[in-house]
Amino acid sequence: MSGTFFQPVDAAEVPRFAGHSTFMRLPAVHTAAGLDIALVGIPWDGGTTNRAGARHGPREVRNQSSLMRRVHHVSGTEPFSIANVADVGDLSINPIDLIDGLSRIETGMDQIVAAGAIPLSVGGDHLTTLPVLRAVARHRPVGLIHFDAHSDTNDRYFGDNPYTHGTPFRRAIEEGLLDPKRIVQIGIRGSIYDPGEHDWAKQQGVRIIYMEEFVTRGAEDVMREARSIAGDLPTYVTFDIDSIDPSMAPGTGTPEAGGFTTREAQQMIRLLAGVQIVGADVVEVSPPFDLAGMTALAGATMMFELLCVIAKQVGDRRYAASA
């Protein structure tokens, strides 16, 4: 089967620092038709309220993703042998019009979903996840496993503006895209504007696991709960790079001290095995604030971890169907 799947450029023939920059050194294709998993960039930070720059994320994550190899060293998963994966490029965006930007992202993501591919995207700020969910959850609400320093369930900003990277999950719940009782947010921390800032989310049934609880319980226990909240229904996974400590991922718009190590984040993504993932993203990598590409590398690494979990699920499903 793997003979028919797209493959990364062979590092023994073209060294990893050479050639075109695509996600995981995979072929760049123009359509998601025939793909199991579509790697896609969303270079848009129109929802950023403070330090902009995540629009540059996809290009730098592509660059650092050239460091990824073919085989996951713990699970043994070979994602490119068991699933058809390629880089479908960047979605069309509008850098100067927020509403049109959201609309274009939704349209582009619709095409990927209609082609039957699971989208694994790289932002962009966290508002990009809202139009992605509008496409992924068009026909039924999905669950959400959300790694972040911030809950992103605020209501309004600067008057009556409903759309910022601090509001996507409130809007997604209101729009019926997410089942709030199947949402778990992990790693939440940092100063807040108002003591009641997380009350609305909690009242909807969102489970917020603050960083301090994660430190006490550890990854295994927290992810056991996360998997049970997601259940065996369709679930989206969103990974904000600011969930990682700024000492390891400084290149982001809203850093918060006291976060995950990259190793803890990798461990948690591996523990997603068994979750029915219908889409995933890595957001808020902001190269203008990065140092030596370390945050883009962390983002590319989380993308590879997610890819391996999703590919395993695709491969298992294909094997079950052919058995």
Minimum CB separation of residue 150 from Mn ion in Å reads 5
Which CB, 240 or 256, lies closer to Mn ion?
A: 240
Distance CA 22, CA 26 (A): 6
Which CB, 41 or 89, lies closer to Mn ion?
A: 41
Minimum CB separation of residue 35 from Mn ion in Å reads 27
| 198 marked as part of a ligand binding site | no
| 242 marked as part of a ligand binding site | yes
Distance CA 83, CA 28 (A): 16
Minimum CB separation of residue 174 from Mn ion in Å reads 17
| 139 marked as part of a ligand binding site | no
| 240 marked as part of a ligand binding site | yes
Q: Residue 283: name the closest of 318, 249, 234 by CA.
A: 249
Minimum CB separation of residue 185 from Mn ion in Å reads 9
Which CB, 77 or 252, lies closer to Mn ion?
A: 252
| 316 marked as part of a ligand binding site | no
Which CB, 84 or 164, lies closer to Mn ion?
A: 164
Which CB, 155 or 316, lies closer to Mn ion?
A: 155
Which residues would be at the binding site for Mn ion (CB under 5 A)? Answer: 126, 148, 150, 152, 240
- Asked if 235 and 141 count as a contact pair (C-beta separation under 8 A), the reply is no
Minimum CB separation of residue 240 from Mn ion in Å reads 4
Binding residues: 126, 148, 150, 152, 240, 242
Binding residues for Mn(2+): 126, 148, 150, 152, 240, 242
